[in-house]
Amino acid sequence: MSIAIEGFWTWVRVQTGAARARQRADQRGEGVISAAIAVLVMAFLGVGMWVAFNTTFQKTSTKVDDKVTNCIGESNNNPNC
């Protein structure tokens, strides 16, 4: 009886060890998750760049409009033109 229990115990240890090895080696879905993270990072960078570009463009447009409006009819000696 002792040999049967010892054999069963050995079988259980081998099976649980194999299951643990499969769990450690199982990397299904890792590439998908990494790709999703990369897409999100790129999306946030794109939004940030768009906001920076849009803000810069609006400020520049406002300054150019002010210069054109103020300098029409002014002499070239005016330092603001």
pLDDT tens for each residue of 50-65: 999 999 999 999 888 8
Cβ-based neighbours of 78, under 8 Å, separated by 6 or more: 71
Give this prediction's pTM: 0.50
Least confident of 19-23, 45-49, 53-57, 67-71: 19-23
HSE of 79, CA atoms in CB hemisphere, 13 A: 0
Chain-centroid distance of CA 56 in Å reads 24
DSSP letter string, the chain: -HHHHHHHHHHHHHHHHHHHHHHHH--TTHHHHHHHHHHHHHHHHHHHHHHHHHHHHHHHHHHHHHHHHHHTT--TT-TT-
